[in-house]
Structure 1
Amino acid sequence: MTQPILELKGVEKSFGSNHVLRGVDIDVAPGRSLVVLGGSGSGKSVMLKNALGLMTPDAGKILFDGKDVTKDQGKTREAMRSRIGMLFQSGALFDSLTVWENVAFRLLNADKVKRSDAKEQAIENLKKVRLGASVAELRPAEISGGMQKRVALARAIITKPDLIFFDEPTTGLDPITADAINDLILEQVKALGAAAVTITHDMASARKVADEIAMLFEGKIIWRGPASEIDRSGNDHVDQFVHGRADGPIQPSL
């Protein structure tokens, strides 16, 4: 078995009396795609922030490439983040920057790459997500939602990361555009040989991009298995979520 590039072991996180993560155990290896399902308030975003080092767990460990990075700060933490790509929910592009400046944001601001070289790399990565050089000088407001997601994907892959997080990558997209984004995600993750962790409510997306699917409920991973087994999980919580039923052990958030 390939050593996981990311491991969360017994991770706990509370905010006052709100115990959000209650011992999360999860891992993903290079070349593998893991989708994490979970309803609103299940702890998905907090788990992601702990994995990225934006939060420090109250208990448990986070290992990156076999090294304990739970409490790393400064340059050590930045070295880890330099190997991670992120596609944020809704794209999270900077309105004041052009498309190519958004794609090359890390190159320009952290890696101090010359603007001419950064622009060249940005345009090359835009091509990888089926966008031509003609969009490079446009602002995000001048392109469609689907194009914005592709720009965000180009930004996530430009540094050739070893691990990529996808936070609700198809939110706000029509089914056809969402499927095209899923195809691009699969294509680029495979080309990089990267590990991928996707948080999503979109079951069509989960089924398409995942090698494995895990379910986070009340701060714990309650099921994990091959994507092909999701309809035969044997778990009532998973079954209710996958089929979108109001009746079941998960109470709707109203």
Structure 2
Amino acid sequence: MTTPILSLQNVEKRFGKNHVLRGVTLDVAPGQSLVVIGGSGSGKSVMLKSALGLMTPDSGQILFNGEDVTQAKGKTRARMRERVGMLFQSGALFDSLTVWENVAFRLVNSGVVSRAKAKDRAIETLSKVRLGADVADLYPAEISGGMQKRVSLARSIISKPDLIFFDEPTTGLDPITADAINDLIIEQVRGLGAATVSITHDMASARKIADEVAMLFEGKIIWRGKASEVEDSGNAYVDQFVHGRAEGPIQPAL
């Protein structure tokens, strides 16, 4: 059997009395696109940060390509992050850096690639997300929100990672721009052959980019299946969330 590129095994995380993750178990195969859905406060962001190593679980294991990285630091953690890309919810572009410097941030700061070569790589990668060389020397404040999201996508793929995390990739975008971003995600991820883990509230995005969908509720994965099955999951929680109903087992967070 193929070793999962990412495996969370019974991961738990508390913040004081707030028990956020309550035994999350999740595998992601190489090249697979997994979308994790769930309401606000369900633990999606904490799960993502734990998988990235930005938070350390209280218990459980996190494996990257079969290697235990739960407590990893230093060179072990650096080796993992070299193979991982990330698109943040807000884009998280550096306002003081130009577009190309944002895209090539990892290359420039690695010290391995010259600034000139890094800029060439950045411009090449920008073209993959339908942005021309004319935006390379602009600053994030000088481009639209949709363009900023594409710059963030370019930054996440420039190092040709094996695994990419997407945190609410279409948040704040109008439906047409959001759909264009979804198309770019599919195109670029397939081109790389990378695995992806996305967290989102946007069911249109989830249906489009996912091979499989999992639902996180009260810190646990309560359902997982093919994206084509999410409309008829047989799970009352998934059904309520997918169809956006106020009535059901999930109580609205008012």
SS in 1 for 2:116: helix
Paired-residue identity, %: 79
What residue identity is the alignment partner of 2:105? F
Distance change (3 Å), C-alpha of 1:251 and 1:111:
farther
Give, in whole Å, the separation in 2 of the partners of 1:135 and 1:209: 27
| 1:125-164 alignment, distance < 5 Å | 125-164=125-164
Q: Does 1:227 align with 2:227?
A: yes
Greater mean deviation of Cα atoms: 110-119 or 88-97:
110-119
Aligned to 2:210: 210
Q: CA deviation at 1:61?
A: 0.4
RMSD of aligned alpha carbons: 0.8
Give, in whole Å, the separation in 1 of the partners of 2:169 and 2:150: 10
Give, in whole Å, the separation in 1 of the partners of 2:78 and 2:45: 20
Q: Does 1:24 align with 2:12?
A: no
Give, in whole Å, the separation in 1 of the partners of 2:106 and 2:32: 25
What residue identity is the alignment partner of 1:227? A
Give, in whole Å, the separation in 1 of the partners of 2:96 and 2:56: 32
Q: CA deviation at 1:176?
A: 0.6
Aligned to 2:166: 166
Aligned to 2:5: 5
Q: CA deviation at 1:110?
A: 2.8
What residue identity is the alignment partner of 1:146? G
SS in 2 for 1:118: helix
SS in 2 for 1:97: coil
Q: CA deviation at 1:113?
A: 1.9
Structure 2 segments unaligned to the other structure (5+ residues): none
Aligned to 2:95: 95
TM-score by length of 2: 0.99
Structure 1 segments unaligned to the other structure (5+ residues): none
TM-score by length of 1: 0.99
Aligned to 2:236: 236
Give, in whole Å, the separation in 2 of the partners of 1:49 and 1:177: 27
Q: CA deviation at 1:2?
A: 2.6
| 1:98-113 alignment, distance < 5 Å | 98-113=98-113
Aligned to 1:45: 45
Give, in whole Å, the separation in 2 of the partners of 1:216 and 1:54: 20
What residue identity is the alignment partner of 1:243? H
Aligned to 1:191: 191
